Amino acid sequence: MIVPRTSRSEILARLRAKVARRQPIFIASAGSGLVAQLLEQSGVDCVNTFAGARLRANGMGTMAMLWPILDSNRQTLDYTREDILPAMSGAAFVCACLNANDPLKDMRLVLEQLLAMGVCSVSNIGPSISYVDKDSEVYRVLTKSGITFQHEIDMLKLARQLGHVTIGLAFDEADSVQLVEQARPDVFCFHAGTTKGGRRGYDSGETIAATAARTDAVHRRLRAIDPELILIAHGAAMETPEDAQYMLDHCTLDGFWTGSSTERIPIEQAVTATARRFAALRFAERGAR
C-alpha cells in the first residue's frame, strides 16, 4: 500500500476553488477506514481523525475522550496511519485533531510525524480544553495545572509554520476571536456543541434557528478580523442534511463539519434496521411427512 500524498498548497487551492464557486466545503470525521472510504467516495473534502471518532466507532460517545482512558494523540496517530490513510484514494485530505496539552509529547515532533505519514492538516480539538465549561471548578483546576487554550493556539501557529493546513475550533466568541487573531488558521469552525441525535447524542433543546444565530454572530465577528478566513459550522442542532441546509441559508459560512451525523447515527440506524430484519426471519412451516 502506498498512501497518496498532498500538500498545503494543493489543499488550500482546492478549498479556495470551492469557496469561489460557492460550493459548500464538507468536512467529516471518521473513526474507521470503512467510514473514511465511504465518506471520501461520497464527496467530502476532508476526513477528520481524532480520539473521539475512534471511541464512537467502539460504541462510546465523543466526550469519552475527555476521560483519561487512552493516550489521545497516540490513538489518533496510530489509527490514522493504520486504518484511515490506507483506505483512502487521495480525493479527500486528512486532518488530524490533536491534544495540544499532552504533557508527555513535544508537539513539534507530533506535527513532523504527521507530515511524514502524509497528513498535512491538523486541528486543536483532540480534545480541547474548551469542552469543559469555563465557570466550572474542573476548568479552573485544569487551567491552574497548565492545561490551557493558549497551548492549542500555539500548536496551530507552529503547525502552520511547518506546512500544515490549520483548522481551528472554539466554542464561544471570546475563544474564537483569540484563536483567529493569534493563530491565523486557514479554516475556522465554530463548535456549537455536542451533536444531538442517536444513542449517544446530547440534546440541549436548542433549535436549529438558535444554533444558526449563534454561529452567524461568531462568524461575522471573525470575518471582520480576517476576510479570507474559511468559515465552517458544526454541532448542536445541526443533525440532518436539512439542518445543514438551514445553516447554509442562514449563516455567514463556507461549509460544514459533520461527526456523528455522517458516522455514528447512520451506522446505528442502518445496522439496527438490517439486523432486525435478519433476526425476524423464521423457518418455513413444513407439512407432515
Q: Fill in the amino acid letter for 259.
A: G
Answer yes or no: are the C-beta atoms of 118 and 85 closer than 8 Å: yes
- Identify the domain containing residue 125 by its residue range: 25-265
Which residues of the chain form beta strands (DSSP E)? 25-29, 46-49, 93-97, 121-123, 165-170, 187-191, 230-234, 255-258
For residue 110, the domain's CATH number is: 3.20.20.70
Residue 4 lies in a domain: no
Residue 171 lies in a domain: yes
Whole-model pTM: value is 0.90
Q: How far apart are CA 216 and CA 232, in angstroms?
A: 10
Residue 17 lies in a domain: no
Residue 13 lies in a domain: no
Q: Fill in the amino acid letter for 192.
A: A
Q: How far apart are CA 163 and CA 120, in angstroms?
A: 7
Residue 12 lies in a domain: no
Handedness of CA 251, 123, 170, 40 (dihedral sign): positive
Predicted confidence pLDDT, tens digits, the chain (289 residues): 788 899 999 999 999 999 999 999 999 999 899 999 999 999 999 999 988 776 776 666 666 566 666 788 999 999 999 999 999 999 999 999 999 999 889 999 999 999 999 999 999 988 889 888 899 998 999 899 899 999 999 999 999 999 999 999 999 999 999 999 999 999 999 998 877 555 555 556 789 999 999 999 999 999 999 999 999 999 888 989 999 999 999 999 999 999 888 888 899 899 999 999 999 999 998 765 5
Answer yes or no: are the C-beta atoms of 33 and 109 closer than 8 Å: no
Angle 199-200-201 (CA atoms, 0-180°, nearest 5)?
Answer: 105
Residue 188 lies in a domain: yes
Could you give the number of structural domains in the chain? 1
